Amino acid sequence: MEKAQEIIFAGFGGQGVLSMGQVIAYASMIENKEVSWMPSYGPEMRGGTANCIVIVSPTRISSPIIAKYDTAIILNQPSLEKFENCVKPGGLLIYEESTIITPPTRTDIEVIAVAGNEEAQKLNKKQVANMVILGAYLEKVPIVSIESILEALRKVLPERHHHLIPINEQALTRGKEIAQLAPQL
């Protein structure tokens, strides 16, 4: 990784938006990178809007407050409407296909639709939809390894949920496969 990656994860509370950012942050620390994770959510938490800004850098991070992102990972329509125009030209926007009614329209960025919810249901664990999306992102922008993500999950998840790490790994792998095959929109 030569330059910093500035990412916004956004959606409804309960979709795993903050978790995706937190796992990227932990995995980046495992790989000795500089990282900033800044969550933002309303008092509703589950069902309300939530987002987090993650910056991963090989050098010190001057400020966690940014308005333009290299990548936006979007899990609902209100977040798409709010953050689509905040992606830098040449950047990447990945969105959950099932929750977006009006897809992105920009032509100066790479756009990938991922059916994370559908793929998670195929794995019989709807809670891993965010890991499918994260896997797609890591295929396009490999800022951390899957091994570091899995190690981060061991740190983030309570021990009673460690039995879910293999299904999370399957979801990450499926997301990577989807991104390899995804047509650019």
Domains of the chain: 5-181 (3.40.920.10)
Q: By the 8 A CB rule, do 140 and 179 touch?
A: yes
| Cα atoms found within 13 Å of the Cα of residue 94, Cβ hemisphere only | 27
Distance between CA atoms of 103 and 25, rounded to whole angstroms?
28
Distance between CA atoms of 108 and 47, rounded to whole angstroms?
31
Instruction: Name the amino acid, one letter, at 87.
Output: V
Q: By the 8 A CB rule, do 104 and 84 touch?
A: yes
Q: What is the mean pLDDT of the chain?
A: 92
182 pLDDT higher than 60: yes
Q: What's the start-to-end Cα distance of the chain, in Å?
A: 26
pLDDT in tens, 51-110: 999 999 999 998 888 999 999 999 999 999 999 999 999 999 999 999 999 999 999 999
* pLDDT on residue 156: 83
